[in-house]
Amino acid sequence: LVSVDPPEHTFDRRLVNRAFTPASLLAMEPQITELIDEIIDGFVDKGEGDFMQLLAVPVPLIVIAWLLGLDPDLVQQMRPRADSVIAANALEQEEMARQMAAEVESEGRDAARSTASRSMSEVQYFLGTIAERRAMHAAGEEMPQDTLTALVTAELNGRTLTDDEIIGFMGFLFIAGSATTTQLIGNMIYRLLQNPDQMELVKNNPDLYDTCVEESLRYDAPVNGLFRTAVEDTEFLGVQVPKDTKVLCMFGSANLDPEMWDEPEKFDVTRDYEKLKLHYAFGQGIHYCMGAPLARVEAKVALKLVLERMPNLRLTGEPEEISAPVLHGVETLPVAWDPPSTS
């Protein structure tokens, strides 16, 4: 989906869109609220911990497991697979950057591709229910209403998806729907902790929840950027770009453009909401992130419940930045709060 153009992209997108309609994603808010409440119940009495591992990591993993039709109990086994795919993707991104500087040898490229292949094989291990769903469909049995069912039964102009295509979609959706939302939630809470005045504004004005989510997406795009390939000779801002040139499109840089934003390097939850939604964190055009409505719901609900249930939230140390260059944000976020017995 990310790397192909029409007409292939049009076909793929239409199939997957049937499982990711905005209405169906927004309808998950009550379920997500219940989930986050339950997760907070499990740690709130501790009064301290790594926010990423306590909340920012498990919430998106469980939600995407629901959507894809995977057993949520397998989520902890799936996390290392997600990390390995991100690492492989990071290697490929680094490889492209080095190629642009003519610094990589062929064996290095082979190693990166091998790592990516092994990682995707691990993800495939968790998608073995495809054959079972096909058998259920062939027998006319009632099937779970999830993304896997939608992909198995989808048909467009007489064409259906192969097993390999479904595995590819599921692997991509699992990574895209979990790791990026983890970074969104973690980055948002981190910036609020760094800016107590903004934290107080949001606490006292629930109407700012949506704006806070969008400002976090603008200020800290969870995905740094992606490579694109020029399909023809072109010129961009006075720079000649020959056909087949690899161009690294930096979403985070676009989101800090001073011609677009006043004081772009300031985290400000009072910015104009409609203008904020023009940020590039979810991409633009035909490749716009189809999971954007879900990510926004998860982040908004997490923000609301964290502010309500973790009073006097504060940093207790310096966060570690995430190591994968594809992603932007923190790997750890050490925090403390007043547990219910003392608040």
Q: Return the axis-axis angle of helices 75-100 and 58-68, rounded to nearest 10°.
A: 100
Domain 8-326 has CATH 3.40.50.300: no
Which pLDDT does position 5 carry in this prediction? 63
Q: What is the pLDDT of residue 341?
A: 78
Determine which of 234-243, 271-280, 293-302, 323-332 has the lowest per-residue pLDDT on average.
323-332
pLDDT over 90 at 303, yes or no: yes
| Residue found under tokens 């996390």 | 79
pLDDT in tens, 186-224: 999 999 999 999 999 999 999 999 999 999 999 999 988
Q: Name residue 248's beta-bridge partners.
A: 227
pLDDT of residue 98: 46
Residue 50: alpha-carbon gap to chain centroid:
20
* The predicted structure's pLDDT at residue 91: 44
Residue 138 pLDDT exceeds 50? yes
Query: What does the DSSP 8-state code read for residue 1?
Result: -
What does the alpha-carbon distance between residue 66 and residue 10 come to, in Å, rounded to a whole number? Answer: 26
Most confident of 13-17, 146-150, 292-296: 292-296
- CB neighbours (10 Å) of residue 265? 8
Residue 81: pLDDT above 60? no
Q: What is the pLDDT of residue 297?
A: 96
247, burial (CB in 10 Å: exposed 0-12, middle 13-18, buried 19+): middle
The pLDDT confidence band at residue 18, using thresholds 50, 70 and 90, is low
pLDDT at 111 over 50: no
Residue 167's pLDDT is 78
Least confident of 190-204, 280-294, 328-342: 280-294
- What percent of the chain is predicted at pLDDT more than 90? 49
Amino acid residing at 189 = I
Give the integer Cα–Cα distance in Å for 255 and 99.
26
| Greatest mean pLDDT range, 69-73, 127-131, 249-253 | 249-253
Band (46; pLDDT cuts 50, 70, 90): very high
Q: pLDDT band for position 75 (50/70/90)?
A: low
Mean pLDDT of the chain: 82
Whether residue 292 has pLDDT greater than 50: yes
pTM, full prediction: 0.82
CA atoms within 13 A on the CB side of 155: 5
Q: How far apart are CA 228 and CA 236, in angstroms?
A: 13
Matching residue, tokens 């919430």: 59
Overall residue count recorded for the chain in this entry: 343
